[in-house]
Amino acid sequence: MGDNEPERIYRAACQLVGQGISVLPTGGGISLKAKQPHVQALKASGYTSTTEQGRVRGSWKPLQHELPTADDLKVWFLQIRAGGLGIVTGAMSGYVVIDVDRAGLPLMRELGWKPHVLSPSGGAHLYLQHPGWFVPSNASHTKCALPPGVDVRGDGGYIMFPPSRTRTGVYQRTDERRRLHVADVPERVRVAEKTYHLREALGLTRPIPQEPPSAKWPSVHSVDADDRCPLSVMLDRAADYALESRNKGAFMLGLWAHANGYSREDALSAAHEYTEMVRGVKPSPFGVEEAQTAITSAYTYPRKDSWKRQEQLCP
């Protein structure tokens, strides 16, 4: 890493934050942790979380909901001299990034997509306007199959940004400035004699709330605040989704809370109880911050009619 690289990265970070795009410091340079969050820098600026064992660790999760301050950027890049820069993807920054490696380049060219960033490994990053609903990151790790060499960074994710480097080279910005939109992503593509539901697999299909058979969206208008359906009912319904997806359950909780007149802060507070309810459903960890990310995204979704107060729904 050159002596002036942290200063260059600092200027790039300031420009991004000035545009309302959240960023985080990464290791950068030849470090094996070049693409990982820079723990020391995050801890130095107060971005921390505490483990169940009481250990304090650096955490970039708050940056999914808030922009770093000017002082944060100075600490990260001028004081600690973090060598890499990441963009927080998702609703906070307004972008979803389609991450294409070498295997996906032929499809990218076939679709006429022009990359916005070239990665050191020979791949490409394409910036797409966030569609307004929860878009999961690393979709290739879910049951929705993506074509070879294609992945996505959405809510709860981040992606490296120029002038960051790794031991294999430097991330480079191209001249392309037009962002992609959902309409630029075909519903289906065919690669190597196999059809892929590309738009759905990337999380770019508007979600349709699917309730348990006993639950239906009412056709009536909103009710008085004192007559709202209790959040406890919505929590029980949201937990029903945990086996399929704990993120989806949290997203549905946000949709329902919003529809029934609860503030986003009310719904975010309920995230603590939701994570306790779904603890142990799957072996992988699922924390309050992940649930709150999904809930926050749900509040950008068009508000539905409130639930009708019925004995079976709101006892």
Place of tokens 């929860």: 134
Which pLDDT belongs to residue 213? 41
pLDDT band with cut points at 50, 70 and 90 for residue 144: low
What is the arithmetic mean of pLDDT over 16-24? 93
Strands 150-153 and 124-129: unpaired
CA distance 142 to 255: 22
Average pLDDT over the chain, rounded to an integer: 84
Which parts of the chain fold into alpha helices (H)? 5-18, 39-44, 70-73, 105-110, 198-201, 231-239, 246-259, 264-277, 288-298
d(Cα 240, Cα 250) in Å, to the nearest integer?
A: 10
What is the rounded distance in angstroms from the CA atom of residue 9 to the CA atom of residue 161? 9
Instruction: Check whether 313 has a pLDDT greater than 60.
Output: no
**Each residue of 34-90: pLDDT tens digit?**
899 999 999 999 998 877 677 888 889 889 888 999 999 999 999 999 999 999 999
Q: What is the pLDDT of residue 195?
A: 92
| CA 89 to chain CA centroid, nearest Å | 5
Integer angstrom CA distances of residue 52 from 2, 43, 55, 57, 126 = 39, 18, 7, 11, 38
pTM value?
Answer: 0.67
At 237-289, the pLDDT tens digits run: 888 877 778 888 898 899 999 999 999 999 999 999 898 888 777 767 788 88
Q: Would you state the pLDDT for residue 71?
A: 95
| Residue 34 confidence (pLDDT) | 87
For the chain, the distance separating the N- and C-terminal CA atoms, rounded to the nearest angstrom, is 63
- State yes or no: pLDDT of 191 exceeds 80: yes
Per-residue pLDDT at 217 = 37
